[in-house]
Chain A
Amino acid sequence: MELFVMSLINGIMVGGVYALVALGWVLIYKCSGVLNLAMGELTLIGAYVTLTFYQIGVPFVLAIIITLFIGIILGILVERIFLDRLIGEPILAVLMVTVGLSFFFKGIIEFIWEAKTRAFTPPVFSLEPIEIGFIKISSVYLWSFILAIVLFLLFSAFFKYSHWGLAMQATADDETAALSVGVSARFVYAAAWAIAFMSAGVGGALLGNINGVNISTGYLGLLVLPAVVLGGLNSIPGAVLGGITIGVLQNLSGTYLDQYFPGGVKEVFPFAFMVVFMLFKPYGFWGWERIERM
């Protein structure tokens, strides 16, 4: 029983970080109707930039803020250089450009930072776990969870109440129609990419605190995909719920299934779950079910 509760709680906490990365995914999908497959690399860039600043002596919070600013600049640059020319092109083209970008970034990241594992030294969060009764939570998880929830509230308010947020939703729904009523698609894309860079960057920095930063942190970025599917690709609450569900599933499968299937069951179980889930509920819990007519 204790084991179950422990892995449940840890799963929820890790799920918070996944939710943060999933948020970046959902944002880009919601704004531009594109699944951004470069997300794993965006988390990597965030993690490495924060790490670099942290190691030259900048305090962690300041390093995160610098990462956010660099994220905005990179997001706008990427949008202006690559995606600006693709407005109105078929979705597959835009999708593959994000794949191309992901390789481009990955190559550059490996070129600059090499493929070694780096850790945040000295550790940012205290290594002493916080104890509530018999439950032990490491403080990295707890802080990440709190940060994820705060950012989640900020972003959903942005989409619901601000003029720009509505413009972004309109663009995702029907780009041509949005253009015709005077929404600037260029601005919307730039904003979406900037926000995605920001949220993925923070997510990457937090994940880097948990496991250390190396190229496979980018793979963790991909692991978030089942979370996005579970919630539906275009729902912010869905991203959070999906993230937490995947975190829990991962931890529970790691605890209980690892003895029967030794090896990477933890990494694969969310994907297997996703395939089966999609057979029954193809558009997730809150995804747009497109009703098509001739």
Chain B
Amino acid sequence: MSNVWLPCGLYHQKYSEDHGWWQTPVIKGKMILLLALVFIIFPLTLTGYWFGVANMIGYTAMGALGVQILIGYAGLVTLGHAAFIAVGAYTSTLLILQFPWPQILVDWGLAYPISIIIAGILAGLWSVLFGLPSAKVKGFYLILTTMAAQFITVDFLITQYVSQIGGRGQAFSLPPGTIKIGPWVIDSELKTYFLMAVLLTLSVMIFANLLRSKVGRAWIAIRDNDIAAETMGINIIWYKLLNFFVAGFIAGLAGAFWVSNTAALSPEHFPWFWSLWLVGVILIGGVGSIHGVIFGSVFMVLIMEFIQYGVMLLGDVYPDLMIKFLYIKESVFGLAICVFLIFQPRGLSYRWWQIKNYFNLWPFSY
């Protein structure tokens, strides 16, 4: 049941090879190169500004991974994922700021790591709460409940109540030195970058492994035809809620990571726009593909950086453009989604698959 297209002349001879992570030497080399790139070459070559961009890409990718689990692998359309990211971020921040940690945990620098896990679990549970109607409905009706999650969580609960805790007003800010893992104080963009890289790699690995298991196959069965899945004995309510939990968990991780990057938090960081943005990212990257998440987030973040650069160049001539940059960004994002869906409906990952296949099948064309 290998799901990799093997090149001509390469055959598996054992089960363990068939189930392997990296099935051909080329894939192994490619992945080691990728890890080396992410963990060694980028940190050595990038400069401050580009670390910011890389962190943004990582944050987008983690959020989009949750959306991908829901939309791409279980067919549960969600338009409120920013709410769960917000729950994660606020849980983590409030735990660090307000929870009476035993001094020994603070000294060992365990407060932040523990808060990341709790943030993930809480965001997951919160996500399950809004996933409950998915037992009965699908499609548009589900979209509405996830939208409701966004408005209830961010626009009401967090803005009105949660962000008032501790009497700090609307915005939380974390004093420097509070975010640390062990003795390692996260205070520079390089360190945030490493945290992002580790968290992203871990969540992609966990998710990819989950897909190879019974759980992932059940999700895909539900996506393709939920009634058929139910007749085959899959408990679809359980698996749908599990899906919501995992998606919420990853969203919580993303939120808790984002705290380390900004060291400040306000409800405006999690608008409805962000939920839609994440769905746009997976559509541009490709629905139902892990590659798609990464491609989509890299593409979208870089495109926005380029637009910003272009606007800054034009800004000397037309100063108005600088003020209206946000509006241009919004329009371009909308247009990009439309154009991609019309001309490249299967996303960037399909293009990547075609390129890979060309090499796998070479010298034949099919």
Partners in one complex: yes
Interface residues of A (CB under 8 A from B): 29, 35, 37, 82, 85-86, 89, 91-93, 95-97, 99-108, 110-111, 222, 225-226, 229, 233, 261-265, 267-268, 271-272, 274-275, 278-279, 282-283, 292-294
User: Within the assembled complex, what's the spacing in Å between the Cα atoms of A252 and B331?
Assistant: 37
Also in contact, A263 and B160, with CB within 8 A (given A35-B143, A275-B145, A283-B141): yes
Known: A92-B77, A267-B156, A268-B156. A106 touches B330 (CB 8 A): yes
Is B228's beta carbon under 8 Å from chain A?
A: yes
Query: B345, A229: Cβ atoms under 8 Å?
Result: no
B133 — which chain A residues lie within 8 A by C-beta? 275, 278-279, 282
- B141 near A111: Cβ-Cβ < 8 Å: no
| Subset of 12 A-B contacts with CB under 8 Å | A37-B79, A95-B140, A99-B337, A110-B330, A226-B144, A229-B141, A261-B160, A263-B156, A263-B159, A293-B227, A294-B227, A294-B228
Say yes or no: A103-B151 contact (C-beta < 8 A), given A93-B345, A95-B77, A282-B133. no
Q: Does B334 contact A (CB under 8 A)?
A: yes
Residue-wise interface mask of B (154-186) relative to A, using a CB-CB cutoff of 8 A (1 in contact, 0 not): 011001110000000000000000000000000
Which one, A82, A95, A110, A293, contacts B342 given CB within 8 A?
Answer: A82
Report Cα–Cα, A91/B141, bound state, in Å: 13
Residues of A within 8 A of B155 (CB): 264, 267-268
In chain A, what residue has the closest Cβ to B145? A275
A222, B231: Cα distance in complex, Å = 37
Contact (Cβ within 8 A) A278 B137: yes
Are A283 and B137 closer than 8 Å at their CB atoms? yes
A-binding segment of B190-198, B294-302, B321-329, B348-356: B321-329
- For the complex of A and B, 5 pairs with smallest distance between CB atoms: A107-B331, A103-B334, A100-B337, A104-B334, A263-B160
B14 interface hit (Cβ, 8 Å): no
Our pick among B151, B330, B342 for the contact of A271 (Cβ within 8 Å) is: B151
Q: A91 CA to B332 CA in the complex, in Å? A: 23
Is residue B214 contacting chain A, with contact meaning CB distance below 8 A? Answer: no
Query: Of all chain A residues, which has the CB nearest B230?
Result: A294
B144, B160, B336: the one contacting A262 at CB < 8 Å is: B160
Is there an interface contact between A101 and B338, defined as CB atoms closer than 8 Å?
yes
Q: In the assembly, what is the distance between CA of A2 and CA of B144, in Å? A: 34
Task: Specify which chain A residues have a CB less than 8 angstroms from the CB of B273 in the assembled complex.
Answer: 103
- Verify A97–B279 contact, CB threshold 8 A: no
User: Does the CB pair B341–A96 fall under 8 Å?
Assistant: yes
B residues 55-81 with Cβ under 8 Å of A?
71, 77, 79
Contact check, B337 vs A272: say whether CB atoms are below 8 A apart.
no
Q: Is the CB of A267 within 8 A of B151?
A: yes
Question: Judging by beta carbons under 8 Å apart, are B145 and A278 in contact?
Answer: yes
Q: How far is the CB of A109 from chain B (nearest CB, A)?
A: 8
Residues of B within 8 A of A (CB): 71, 77, 79, 130, 132-133, 136-137, 139-141, 143-145, 147-148, 151-152, 155-156, 159-161, 227-228, 231, 273, 276, 279-280, 283, 287, 324, 326-338, 341-342, 345
Residues A99 and B151 in contact, CB atoms below 8 Å apart? no
Residue contact B156 to A279, C-beta cutoff 8 Å: no
CB distance from B170 to the nearest CB of A (A): 12
Cβ 8 A contact of A233, one of B140, B227, B276, B280: B140
In the complex with contacts A86-B342, A229-B141, A294-B228, A110-B136 CB distance below 8 A:
no
Q: Which residues of B contact A95 (CB under 8 A)?
A: 77, 140, 143
Query: Which of B279, B329, B342 sits near A99, CB closer than 8 Å?
Result: B279
Whether the pair B331, A282 counts as a contact (CB closer than 8 A) is no
Interchain CB contact under 8 A, A225 and B144: yes
CB-CB under 8 A for A279 and B136, given A97-B337, A100-B336, A274-B148: yes
Nearest Cβ on chain B to A258's Cβ, whole angstroms = 11
Which listed residue, B144, B231, B341, touches A97 by the CB 8 Å rule? B341
B145 and A104 contacting across the interface, CB-CB below 8 Å: no
Quick one: which of A93, A101, A102, A107 contacts B328, CB cutoff 8 A? A107
Is A278's CB under 8 angstroms from B341's CB? no
Contacts of B276 in A (CB 8 A): 99, 103
CB distance from B139 to the nearest CB of A (A): 7
Assembled-state Cα–Cα distance A93/B285 (Å) = 13
B-chain residues with CB within 8 Å of residue A279 when the two chains form the complex: 132-133, 136
CB–CB B333/A103 < 8 A: yes
Nearest CB on B from A31, distance (A): 15
User: A267 CA to B147 CA in the complex, in Å?
Assistant: 13
B342 touches A85 (CB 8 A): yes
CB distance from A36 to the nearest CB of B (A): 11
List the B side residues contacting A272 at CB < 8 Å.
Answer: 148, 152
Residues on B with C-beta less than 8 A from A91 are 139
**Shortest distance between the CB of B101 and any CB in chain A (Å):** 31
Asked if residues A107 and B327 are in contact (CB atoms below 8 Å), the reply is: yes
What CA separation (Å) do A100 and B148 show in the bound complex?
20
Cα A107 to Cα B334 in complex, Å, equals: 9
B280 and A35 form a contact (CB under 8 A): no
A264, B156: Cβ atoms under 8 Å? Answer: yes
- Verify A100–B144 contact, CB threshold 8 A: no
